[in-house]
Every structure is written in structure tokens, then in C-alpha cells.
């Protein structure tokens, strides 16, 4: 499975969960899982030449609506330094469970990488 796929200017990041680089779940705390999920989104974007500032939409899956404040705080922390208050569009969905019952939050992302403008033709 690819963590992120780029087709032209479009980037789609697979659902990211709170696993660290070794594949270990970072914590049973929703905030820590949310933060790691978003860090993993950032790493997946970087892998295809994109950045957080190019994210146009996030979709977050929560196993409990009570986890939304933790996700929202982590999202502000991760996206705030790059985008100020201009965070991407976002949808949050509450689901019965994720693949591993220890996982509380999963985040997928969509980004757009503007193609560089064609060089102006030299009139001479």
C-alpha cells in the first residue's frame, strides 16, 4: 500500500494512524494519536514532494465523538505554523471502529501541487 500517491498536481494520502516510525502505537491518548497521525500525513506528503501548506482537505475518522477536541487541538498545532488560521477544509466522521481496536483516530489528506507557470517566452 502506498502512503501517498501523486498524479500530476493531485496528491492523495492514505489514512494515517498514530503509529510511530517503528510501527508502534504511540499512546492510547486521543491527542497523542491525532498528533502522530498528522505528523504521518506530513511525512507522506514530503515523500511525494508536497507540504502541509498544499493540503486542500482532511478527512478524520474518530471512534468516539469525544475525541474531536483532541484532534482539533493537534490539527491547529500541526497546521498553524504553516498556514496561520487558514487550515484546509475538513470533514470528521465518527465510525464504530478502525482496523485495530487500539486506534482511535485516522486521518487522510488531499493536496494540490500547483504546476510551475511556464517560463515566459523571450521576445528577442
- Split at pLDDT 50, 70, 90, the class of 114 is confident
pLDDT in tens, 13-39: 999 999 999 999 999 999 999 999 999
Domain of 59, CATH number, reads 3.30.1330.40
Tally Cβ neighbours within 10 Å of residue 24: 9
Residue 69 grid cell: 477536541
Q: Could you list the residue range(s) of the whole structural domain that residue 22 is in?
A: 4-112
What pLDDT score does 117 carry?
Answer: 46
Q: How many angstroms separate the CA atoms of 5 and 79, rounded?
A: 21
Q: Is residue 122 part of a domain?
A: no
Q: Is residue 88 part of a domain?
A: yes
Q: Give every CB contact of residue 60 below 8 A, 6+ residues apart in sequence.
A: 34, 71, 75, 90, 91, 92, 93, 105, 106, 107
Q: Is residue 16 part of a domain?
A: yes
Please state the domain count of the chain: 1
Q: Is residue 48 part of a domain?
A: yes
Amino acid at each position: 500500500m502506498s502512503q501517498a500517491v501523486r498524479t500530476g498536481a493531485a496528491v492523495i494520502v492514505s489514512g494515517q494512524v498514530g503509529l510511530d516510525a517503528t510501527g508502534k502505537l504511540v499512546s492510547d491518548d486521543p491527542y497523542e494519536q491525532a498528533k502522530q497521525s498528522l505528523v504521518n500525513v506530513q511525512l507522506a506528503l514530503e515523500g511525494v514532494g508536497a507540504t502541509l501548506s498544499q493540503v486542500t482537505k482532511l478527512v478524520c475518522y474518530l471512534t468516539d465523538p469525544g475525541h474531536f477536541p483532541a484532534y482539533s487541538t493537534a490539527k491547529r498545532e500541526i497546521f498553524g505554523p504553516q498556514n496561520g488560521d487558514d487550515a484546509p477544509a475538513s470533514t470528521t466522521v465518527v465510525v464504530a471502529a478502525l482496523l485495530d481496536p487500539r486506534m482511535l483516530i485516522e486521518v487522510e489528506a488531499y493536496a494540490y501541487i500547483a504546476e510551475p507557470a511556464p517560463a515566459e517566452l523571450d521576445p528577442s
